[in-house]
Structure 1
Amino acid sequence: MRHPRVMIAGKWKSAIHEEPLYGSFMQAGCSVSKFKWHPYLDAEYEKGILKKICVKLEQRLSQGKTISRINDDLIRAVKENTPDILILYRPQFISSRTIKRIKSINSKLVVCCYNNDDPFSTSYPWYYWRVFQKSICEYDFVFAYREKNIPEFYEKGAKKVIYLPSWYVPSLNYPDPVYSANGKREYIYDIVFIGHYENDGRIEYIRSLVEAGLKVGLYGPEWNHKIKNDRLLKKFFPVKYLYIEDSNRVLSSSKMALVIYSKLNNDQYTRRCFEIPSTGTMMLAKRTEAMEGFYSEDKEVVFFDDCKEMVQKALFYSGDISKCESIGSQGMARAKQSGYDVNSRVSYILDSLAAN
């Protein structure tokens, strides 16, 4: 049986989104081509501050000369590469007209989309996902990042919606512990949080952990403007952004990692829920129904329901390294056995398309 030709189109700006999919489809024996739209945006940014402002506005409104050029060149790329499957990753400004024209090239072409953000969240401006929402009815398959979006996609006319959680990448996410000269594993932090700042109360979680006397690590974007003048948290300034290899070392050097979710996207889980266990680090995670489905409580993950309980459990487990290591190890085994890696997700995509 011939392996399908696949094209993956997306912004392609980070190492954790489109690129792992590309590699996994290649590993599955598919012929894979890429269409990247971040070079179009970056090229305009380099033309000066006024042009940069204009292009950023184009992205938010999903219309303009640069956006039109991306849509037109995507159509040309499909003609040239003749894929059997086209996967559009977070296609915020790919129009329904573009998808119709693409499908007119080859009536057998299967066009899919996957969006890691919540296009129905009321926290976004009304216009932000306007173009994407209008295009939903044109896709043959919509792969939904979160279960709550499934009925919302159908309400917008989706033909077929399939739940597809995110993943970890085995070649990028792995244990990287530090050992002392006598062979003892060393821990820098009692608990670490790696993630962006969001105005959803997460700063109070960090503050409570520090006030409890725990050794806390804090990494990620958009924190510095909030904490540089904060009496208790300014010690973290400047908060660093971690690249993947550094993230593995920090996680492996922490007794546990804090997991909280974006309210902007109404998340019940996050990509970190798969990346953290892949390093063998214990998760201390806000309880959600989705997370209860992914991991067994107190065996593969430790849950909390509020800030007070989070601090209590962080204090308890920070004093028992063997429990942390056991839960971290079992969480890692669960992630492997249950197929939370990108290769397993790609196999699921191919099986789902073949079955339909």
Structure 2
Amino acid sequence: MKNKNILLLGSSEDYTLEKMYQRGFNLNGLNTKFFHIYNIRKNFFSKIIWKYLRFIGFYFIRKKILNFIKIENKKYDLVIIFKGLYINKNFMINLKNNLKNTKIINIFPDNPFEVNYFKDISNKNILDCIKYFDHSFIYSKKILRKLNKNYPNKKFSYLPFAHDSKIHKIDKNKNKKKFDLSFIGTADERRYKIIKELKNFKIILGGDGWDRYKLSKNITYINNVDAKKFAKTINLSKVTLNILRKQNYSSHNMKTFEIPSMGGLMITERSLEQEIFFPENKACLMYNNLKELKSKIKNLKIDSKRYKKIIERGYKLAQKNSYKHRTKFLYNAVYN
């Protein structure tokens, strides 16, 4: 790949998707510059602003980016906006005017058609600004088909999530499986209802927002976890649960690749795209409903050859799906 000057706009917190992409580009020998525009994890005051007065925050983010571009006055070959809830038409026009001959692309990790101002999924400006991007990348084949239908003159590509080979690694400590199940993810009502129903299993639970819910005695809550702690959590449990959100039902999510890449046995809601990456009963376990989920957890035999083979197969397949692979695909899609 010929080297390019690449600018990434997003959050530089180590666990973010954009930082994983930066590491992927670097592994492919490509130069990147990262401009940090906001924090994903916010203090109390910032959360209030983001929830109720986010248009103010969006204004200052747009101003911050345009000022940076003007002051730096550097030529970039490629600018990548990750999601970009803050963008609007005027911003995109100004950005393109200040970056002549620069390709501006978007990596959108949610459903752009699920418009709701008060949720961090999408908004009307996202859809209005699609026409200004040279190329847009989406994680779901179903959403990709809708984008191609609604915007026939624009370029879209399917870009699944992956794992970050720099941080998603197996915890090699020989720990006893103290828990039947682990789940790492941000809390919501649907996830809480599922976890609540698994009261006959010993669970280790991590992620934002679970302190808002009443957790039963079978659950050990460990709050937020980084990749290293996630790997340790996987190592302590017989199986790791993956619960898809509405925008991922027919597709997959980040955990689809992260769990097997860290040597975990993944049990995930059944979906066609996950089946393509990790065939059911060969590289992961899948379920359709609570009854099936409970049955599969209950009947796990961790010393069996089948159990070990599924983990090994999942790990091998995950190694073919890293952000090094994704950035190489992205580069070729944009420039070839």
TM-score normalised to structure 1 length = 0.84
- Does the aligned pair in 2 maintain the 1:281–1:324 contact within 8 Å? no
Residue of structure 2 equivalent to 1:98: 91
**Would the alpha carbon gap of residues 52 and 295 (structure 1) be closer, same or farther in structure 2, given more than 3 Å must change?**
closer
Tell me by how many angstroms 1:18 deviates: 1.4
Q: How does 1:320-335 map to 2 (within 5 A)?
A: 320-335=303-318
What secondary structure, in the 3-state scheme, does the structure 1 residue paired with 2:35 have?
strand
CA contact (8 A) 2:163 2:322 kept: yes
Q: Which one of the candidate residues 314, 330, 335 is aligned to 1:349?
A: 330
Q: Quick one: distance in 2 between partners of 1:190 and 1:88?
A: 40
Structure 1 residues 224, 298: closer, same or farther in 2, change over 3 A?
Answer: same
Is the partner of 1:81 in helix, strand or coil?
Answer: coil
Match of 1:206 in 2: 195
Q: Contact (CA 8 Å) 2:204, 2:222: kept in 1 or not?
A: no
Q: Which has the higher contact order (CA 8 A, sep 6+)?
A: 2
- Give the secondary-structure state (helix, strand or coil) at the position aligned to 1:178: coil
Counterpart Cα distance in 1 of 2:267 and 2:140? 21
Cα distance, 1:54 vs. partner? 4.2
Distance 1:279 1:346 in 2: 21
Indicate conservation of the 8 Å contact 2:139/2:161, yes or no.
Answer: yes
For residues 131-166 of structure 1, give each alpha carbon's deviation from its aligned partner in whole angstroms, at most 9, with x where no partner exists. Answer: 222111100000112222224434257610001011
Structure 1 residue 237 displacement after superposition: 6.4
- The match for 1:249 among 229, 232, 241 is 232
Structure 2 gap ranges (5+): none
| 2:141–2:251 CA contact under 8 A, matched in 1 | no
CA displacement at 1:253 relative to structure 2 = 2.1
Residue of structure 2 in register with 1:72 after alignment:
66
CA shift digits 1:210-230 (9 cap, x unpaired): 22xx322221111122124xx
Residue identity matched to 1:186: K
Q: Distance in 1 between matches of 2:262 and 2:129?
A: 38
Instruction: Give the direction of change, closer, same or farther, for the CA distance of 1:74–1:116 in structure 2 (3 Å limit).
Output: farther
Structure 1 residue 239, shift from structure 2 partner = 4.7
Tell me how far 1:52 sits from its aligned partner.
6.9
Residue 188 of structure 1 is aligned with which of 172, 175, 178?
178
Which residue pairs with 1:166 in the alignment?
161
Q: Which residue does 2:299 correspond to in 1? A: 316
Shift of 1:321: 4.7
Aligned counterpart, 2:263 = 280
Aligned residue number for residue 207 of structure 2: 220
The Cα RMSD (Å) is: 2.9
SS, match of residue 297 in structure 1: coil
Unaligned runs of 5+ in 1: 180-184
Q: How far has the Cα of 1:13 moved from its partner?
A: 3.4
1:175 correspondence with 2:165: no
Aligned residue for 1:38, secondary structure, equals coil
The answer to whether the aligner puts 1:120 opposite 2:113 as a matched pair is: yes
- Do the aligned partners of 1:86 and 1:109 also contact (CA within 8 Å) in 2? yes
TM-score normalised over the length of structure 2: 0.88
**CA distance in structure 1 between the aligned counterparts of 2:128 and 2:209, rounded to whole angstroms:** 31
For the Cα contact (< 8 Å) 2:52–2:118, is it kept in 1? Answer: no
Shift of residue 24 of structure 1? 2.1
- Structure 1, residues 328-356: CA drift from partner, whole Å, max 9, x if none? 111000111xx31110101111111122x
Asked if structure 2 preserves the Cα contact closer than 8 Å seen for 1:287 and 1:304, the reply is: yes
**Paired residue total:** 334
